[in-house]
Chain A
Amino acid sequence: GIQVEQSPPDLILQEGANSTLRCNFSDSVNNLQWFHQNPWGQLINLFYIPSGTKQNGRLSATTVATERYSLLYISSSQTTDSGVYFCAVEGGGGGNKLTFGTGTQLKVEL
């Protein structure tokens, strides 16, 4: 099946710093989503982005499907951005069956 690799695995930032998280995938995808899991375990969908660029406040994402990677940008980070960021892709077969990466653990410090 499709492989999803995320980097870096861990990241510590000072509040106000910017960061870029990367997601590489091994095959063409129909669907790519970014999620944030907060420290209480809740999974929140950030972006549905199989291709192109989207922005939502301080977060933006870019997927270059032809080169099989996606980037999540966090600007002016805040302590509430802490948690784990997951990239997930659907490789084919329909049904939105997602394969998740192992995530990037982000900690934002004051």
Chain B
Amino acid sequence: DAGITQSPRHKVTETGTPVTLRCHQTENHRYMYWYRQDPGHGLRLIHYSYGVKDTDKGEVSDGYSVSRSKTEDFLLTLESATSSQTSVYFCAISGGLAGVTDTQYFGPGTRLTVL
């Protein structure tokens, strides 16, 4: 299994508070992704990164921002959490070989509850 960790694994917070989720990889993969999983929707891409300081929006990016200051870490920030952002958040990586994206590997997920 790819070395991907997410922290925290569980978090309960209140509406209006900022929240930051961290994804850490030890695989030196170029691409990193944040998805959210909700019942009836499968997984949806929030943001992704194609290199250090290079990020772009996904399908459901409103209300989220990301940063990647080094290869191994990709942060997802909810500036002001809302109840609609209650979800399970997954980080993924790909691109172990130069110029190849192919297989994506997923972290264990973070369950976020916004009250």
Contacts and interface: CB of A to CB of B under 8 A. Distances in A.
Please determine whether chains A and B interact with each other in the same assembly. Answer: yes
Contacts of B33: 96-98
Contact of B105 (A45, A100, A103): A45
Interface string B36-78: 0000111111001010000010110000000000000000000
A94 interface: yes
Nearest to A87: B42
Nearest to A93: B56
A63 interface: no
Contacts of B104: 33, 45, 88, 96, 98
Q: Is the interface of B mostly helix, strand, loop or mixed?
A: strand
B44 A43 contact: no
Interface string A84-96: 0010100000111
Interface residues of B, number: 26
Contacts of B95: 96
Given A102-B40, A102-B41, A97 B48 contact: yes
Q: How large is the interface on A (under 10, 10 to 19, 20 to 34, 35 or more residues)?
A: 20 to 34
Nearest to A6: B42
Contacts of B56: 95
A31 interface: yes
Interface of A: 1, 31, 33, 35, 41-45, 48, 86, 88, 94-103
9 contacts: A1-B59, A31-B102, A41-B88, A42-B106, A45-B106, A94-B101, A98-B43, A99-B45, A103-B42
Given A33-B103, A96-B31, 9 more contacts: A31-B102, A41-B108, A42-B109, A86-B43, A96-B33, A97-B58, A98-B45, A102-B40, A102-B42
